[in-house]
């Protein structure tokens, strides 16, 4: 049996990222841009507001004529026009003239302030509307100046950002009816192992249902890529080699689960050899997932994730997700990390770094992390409840409630520029 | 002008939630379940593992026969069978007999432990394989007992949970090829205002492009519902009334933006009256979004959000999102909150509670929140960069860097059982 030398997690990440490729862009309709990542920065195509605008319903006039106004001697204005949002004022205001103006409407020429309805008093003389105000207004008061929120050409959103509801508002405001976004890389998935049944098959002795393939498909989607599910492979070397070889023509990146350990039917190392793929590593100083393997053939990355569901999950998030982020123009390729306090004892030491499925609570005293896989019962459901991976450095001692630990945020979509370990 | 009486935010939320309806369920294929919310709890349809299983590649035998093993006197076993994962052992092991066993394979009868390859030494006598071990093994060592990870009938995932990659693994493991999920409620959207242009139209004096409608559509999607975009309505009462009345037949909930203030063309209050809808509130003690209005007609909720983009955004997240969550069986209807430290001064006081677009950093000393809308420049892009709403209670003083504040997490999908203010 060949002994494998484990490398540190950070080195494994670096080896993989050395081969990660920058993305390509495509143009999609505005409507289809949700959840995509911007291939180009978004800049302001016009000033906002593009005209001097009223932020309130009220009266526009020149503040000069209100300087002497008081409770006992209100300033009195003739109301010469009424304009709603979207209308263009036709009157230029003179001395003691005002325009009744609605929120969002254009400030007329000759006006430099807006007084809200609440501080004005309306009346009429022979059908002619007038308005009185008992306080003085300042020049510029309640006027949104053209360009005060954004100047034409301003950088608004960086390339690589995820299109969220706020992004949609920005794109719409500036007329981006077509949007340049990153092309989603295509990630192929094979689940290996003669023990695997399809989801709709009844259990048989010695067999389990394929869950890793479907789990990774969902992880690929969450990471922003497209999956191509090639189904299951039995423990047969020649067949597996042929199918994997063929699949490489259809995908950007290929993931297999299982077949990377030292068992008699762990064929992935041999398949990499036959493919002429160079193994980047086949053992990492981590738990779970120490047998996680990566290889490169030409410019294609191949990931051999563990067949153990937790190890498979962790291997994807640590090694495959950053490669996908790079292809999506996201400069923050890595999982975002946070500092938290351990919410329960985790006594068993391990010489390797551990990535423990856990959930994060935002408590009054700060972030507290609760490992989900602390006892063996319901290991299965702990994957569904995890929103972070708790990072426990390898060593000779266990960890106690109250210890400071780092966590990696699985549901965060911003990410981090550096792999923080 | 009718004076409106502002009510506290919490009371506005309660009034709306009083009319929020529980969800309905539908059955979808496993493949289409991603991102949906479970309508029913998921339970274990079988024990996991469903048989005693080896977690390693190695040899299975009865530990009894290794009790005398030592470096100088190894225990020697005849290897009578080899089984891979998915195979069923055919041999029952007797004294000093072992089965070569692969990770995930079924433990044969007569064996009670597995020794990893690393601690065993292989050899052969006349073509018959043997194995030697220099240490004693304990009963149960390296055996995953049937049911040790989940027992049949165990509750694994609660109703209302979002289907994430880990959930998919669980569903697949237990053969849930059909999944009962919440039917997504349909949310209609109208953007009101004569000033609104379509996204592909060039700017005109006094006009702006409709951005709120598209922003809300994306917020509806993020919240897990379906949007139905009815486009724009000009400031014409009769036409608006007719279109809104007709739209109510096609949706579960209706959102309009704009038209809820006190301007001459703010027709929504009149439209609610004509519809026979009961106004739940039309003024909230909050900034932005004090004019946010809600009404109920029969069992349908109508939301009149502000035409101001920030106010519209906040109004949706505070009042519409929890209603959607309830329809999705999510018991944690409200935005999840966290405690953070203010990262910069926010000096201007306001008598109303404020919900400030901000982004959250996970720093070593804890959570730090940085308001995005602190100066007026780039108000527009601040919506795209916000991942939290910072909550500043109303009062007579401003806030300083280092102050403790609460934040509401916009991108969190778990939520909170209570509205925490």
Residue B403, number of CB atoms within 10 A of its CB: 14
Partner residue opposite A173 with nearest CB, options B46, B211, B219: B211
On whether any CB of chain A is under 8 Å from the CB of B246, the answer is: no
* Tokens 């994807």 sit on residue: A316
Q: Which uninterrupted H or E stretch holds B228?
A: strand B226-233
Tell me the nearest-neighbour CA distance from B421 into chain A, angstroms. 13
Q: How far apart are CA A86 and CA A88, in angstroms?
A: 7
pLDDT tens string B242-269: 999 999 999 999 999 999 988 999 999 9
Tell me the nearest-neighbour CA distance from A274 into chain B, angstroms. 23
Domains annotated on chain A, with CATH: 9-24+185-327 (3.40.980.10), 27-45+157-182 (3.90.105.10), 58-133 (2.170.190.11), 337-409 (2.40.340.10)
Amino acid B1: pLDDT: 47
Q: Provide the CB-side half-sphere exposure for A155 (13 A, CA).
A: 5
Q: How far apart are CA A408 and CA A404, in angstroms?
A: 14
Q: Is A323 exposed, middle or buried (0-12, 13-18, 19+ CB in 10 A)?
A: buried
Q: Test A51 with B380 for CB contact under 8 angstroms.
A: no
Q: Of A35, A91, A27, which is closest to residue A59 (Cα–Cα)?
A: A91
Question: Looking at this predicted complex, what is its ipTM?
Answer: 0.95
Which token pair is A407?
């966590």
Q: Provide the CB-side half-sphere exposure for B228 (13 A, CA).
A: 14
Q: Of B354, B349, B356, which is closest to residue B396 (Cα–Cα)?
A: B349
Amino acid B136: pLDDT: 97
Q: Test B165 with A1 for CB contact under 8 angstroms.
A: no
* Tokens 């949310």 sit on residue: B187
Q: Test B217 with A168 for CB contact under 8 angstroms.
A: yes
Amino acid B262: pLDDT: 87
- Extended beta strands in A103-244, E state: 113-116, 120-125, 128-133, 155-157, 178-182, 186-192, 196-197, 208-209, 226-233
Q: Of A324, A190, A187, A355, which is closest to residue A257 (Cα–Cα)?
A: A190
Q: Is B164 exposed, middle or buried (0-12, 13-18, 19+ CB in 10 A)?
A: buried
Amino acid A376: pLDDT: 58
Instruction: List chain B pLDDT tens, one digit each, 421 residues.
Output: 456 889 999 999 999 999 999 999 999 999 999 999 999 999 999 999 999 999 999 999 999 999 999 999 999 999 999 999 999 999 999 999 999 999 999 999 999 999 999 999 999 999 999 999 999 999 999 999 999 999 999 999 999 999 999 999 999 999 999 999 999 999 999 999 999 999 999 999 999 999 999 999 999 999 999 999 999 999 999 999 999 999 999 999 999 999 998 899 999 999 999 999 999 999 999 999 999 999 999 999 999 999 999 999 999 999 999 999 999 999 999 999 999 999 999 998 999 999 999 999 999 999 999 998 665 556 778 889 999 999 999 999 999 999 999 999 999 999 999 997 6
* Tokens 């063309």 sit on residue: B265
Record the pTM. Answer: 0.96
CA A140 to chain centre: 39
Residue A187, number of CB atoms within 10 A of its CB: 28
- Check whether the bond before A51 is cis (ω within 30° of 0): no
Q: How far is CA B321 from CA A175, B7, B268, B374, B389, in A?
A: 27, 19, 21, 25, 14
Amino acid B284: pLDDT: 97
- B389 contacts on A by Cβ (under 8 Å): none
Where are the alpha helices (H) located in B333-409, listed in sequence order?
A: 379-385
> What are A43's strand-pairing partners?
A155
Q: Test A169 with B313 for CB contact under 8 angstroms.
A: yes
Instruction: Mark the ranges of chain A whose per-residue pLDDT is less than 70.
Output: 1-3, 373-378, 421
> What are B369's strand-pairing partners?
B342, B360
On whether any CB of chain B is under 8 Å from the CB of A150, the answer is: yes
Amino acid A4: pLDDT: 85
Q: How far apart are CA A84 and CA A103, in angstroms?
A: 7
Nearest CA in chain A to B3: A118
Q: Are A220 and A282 in contact, with CB atoms under 8 Å apart? A: no
Q: How far is CA B10 from CA A99, B14, B391, in A?
A: 38, 6, 13
SS3 A162: strand
Amino acid A1: pLDDT: 47
Q: Which uninterrupted H or E stretch holds A309?
A: helix A309-315
Partner residue opposite A383 with nearest CB, options B84, B148, B169: B169
Q: Are A94 and A110 in contact, with CB atoms under 8 Å apart? A: yes
Partner residue opposite A1 with nearest CB, options B117, B166, B384: B117
Q: Are B346 and B414 in contact, with CB atoms under 8 Å apart? A: no
Which token pair is B78?
């005849």
Amino acid A2: pLDDT: 58
Amino acid A129: pLDDT: 98
On whether any CB of chain A is under 8 Å from the CB of B28, the answer is: no
DSSP B240: H
DSSP A66: G
Residues 268-297 of A with CB under 8 A from B: none
Residues 359-398 of A with CB under 8 A from B: 362-364, 366-367, 376-387
């Amino acid at each position: 049996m060949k002994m494998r030398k484990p490398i540190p997690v950070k080195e494994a990440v670096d080896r993989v990222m050395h081969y990660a490729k920058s993305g390509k862009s495509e143009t999609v309709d505005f409507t289809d841009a949700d959840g995509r990542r911007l291939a180009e920065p978004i800049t302001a195509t016009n000033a906002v507001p593009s005209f001097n605008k009223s932020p309130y319903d009220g009266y526009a006039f020149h503040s000069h004529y209100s300087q002497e106004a008081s409770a006992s001697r209100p300033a009195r204005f003739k109301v010469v026009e009424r304009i709603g949002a979207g209308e263009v004022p036709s009157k230029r205001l003179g001395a003691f003239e005002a325009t009744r103006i609605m929120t969002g409407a254009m400030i007329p020429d000759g006006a430099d302030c807006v007084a809200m309805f609440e501080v004005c008093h309306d009346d009429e003389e022979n059908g002619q509307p007038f308005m009185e105000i008992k306080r003085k207004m300042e020049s510029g008061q309640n006027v949104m100046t053209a360009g005060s929120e954004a100047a034409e050409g301003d950088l608004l959103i960086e390339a690589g950002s995820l299109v969220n509801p706020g992004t949609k508002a920005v794109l719409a405001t500036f007329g981006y009816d077509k949007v340049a976004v990153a092309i989603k890389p295509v990630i192929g998935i094979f689940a290996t192992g003669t023990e695997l049944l399809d989801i709709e098959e009844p259990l048989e002795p010695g067999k389990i249902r394929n869950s890793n393939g479907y789990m990774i498909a969902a992880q690929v989607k969450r990471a922003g890529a497209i999956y191509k599910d090639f189904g299951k492979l039995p423990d047969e070397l020649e067949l597996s080699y042929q199918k994997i070889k063929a699949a490489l023509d259809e995908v950007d990146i290929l993931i297999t689960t299982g077949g990377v350990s030292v068992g008699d039917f762990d064929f992935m190392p041999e398949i990499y050899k036959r493919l002429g793929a160079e193994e980047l590593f086949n053992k990492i100083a981590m738990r779970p997932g120490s047998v996680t393997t990566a290889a490169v053939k030409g410019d294609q990355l191949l990931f051999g994730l563990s067949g153990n569901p937790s190890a498979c999950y962790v291997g994807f998030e640590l090694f495959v997700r950053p490669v996908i982020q790079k292809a999506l123009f996201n400069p923050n390729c890595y999982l975002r990390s946070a500092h938290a306090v351990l919410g329960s004892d985790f006594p068993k030491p391990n010489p390797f770094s551990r990535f423990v499925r856990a959930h994060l609570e935002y408590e009054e005293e700060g972030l507290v992390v609760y490992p989900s896989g602390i006892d063996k019962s319901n290991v299965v459901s702990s994957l569904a409840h995890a929103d972070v991976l708790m990072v426990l450095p390898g060593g000779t001692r266990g960890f106690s409630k109250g210890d400071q630990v780092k966590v990696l945020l699985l549901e965060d979509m911003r990410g981090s520029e550096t792999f923080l370990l």
